[in-house]
Structure 1
């Protein structure tokens, strides 16, 4: 039984990470200031930032080693674009 990461799970993880950072942007854009939202942002931002870098690397490695499906390429490009804007926001 192959217990490694497959393309379906990698696509889902990529879209979850991108959706999280889009939600943070929406919260900041509309200036939503709720305590519960702030708690989740504080708890999840650093793990999602690290996961973003790790899964970008894993996705690139996966694409070069396996068959290239269009949805996998799209999720990887969305994650790369999200990483670019996220890291770029620090500078």
Structure 2
């Protein structure tokens, strides 16, 4: 697993997931309603939600086993906060 996941890849994936949910929030906040945006939002939300949980677990395991990079820790914390907000919005 350590050969496939590096600090850089994990950090990029974490920030992409956080950015996606941030964009979804901005779209809802400003009431932007285009058909194309709605289609992509419907297609990508469930995979990104699953990826959010999976990469949170992978990131914690990676940080326990490997050296700790500050940017990776920040991206993992941002992903954890985003996961709590996203999962918390269901209840």
The two structures have a TM-score, normalised by structure 2, of 0.96
Q: Does 1:42 align with 2:68?
A: no
1:64 aligned counterpart, secondary structure:
helix
- Mapped partners of 1:65, 1:13: distance in 2: 19
Gaps of 5+ in 2: none
* CA drift at 1:4: 1.7
For structure 1, the residue ranges without an aligned partner over 5 or more in a row are none
RMSD (CA atoms): 0.9
Cα distance in 2 for partners of 1:31, 1:52 equals 24
- SS for the counterpart of 1:4 is coil
2:12 corresponds to 1:29: no
- Aligned structure 1 segments of 4 or more residues deviating by more than 4 angstroms: none
Count of equivalent residues: 90
Q: Partners of 2:74 and 2:3 in 1: how far apart?
A: 24
Q: Give 1:1-91 correspondences, 5 Å limit.
A: 3-91=3-91
Whole-Å Cα distance in 1 between the matches of residues 3 and 56 of structure 2? 20
Q: CA deviation at 1:3?
A: 3.9
Give me the whole-angstrom Cα distance separating, in 2, the residues matched to 1:64 and 1:57.
11
TM-score by length of 1: 0.96
* SS state at 1:68 partner: coil
Distance in 1, matches of 2:45 and 2:19, equals: 12
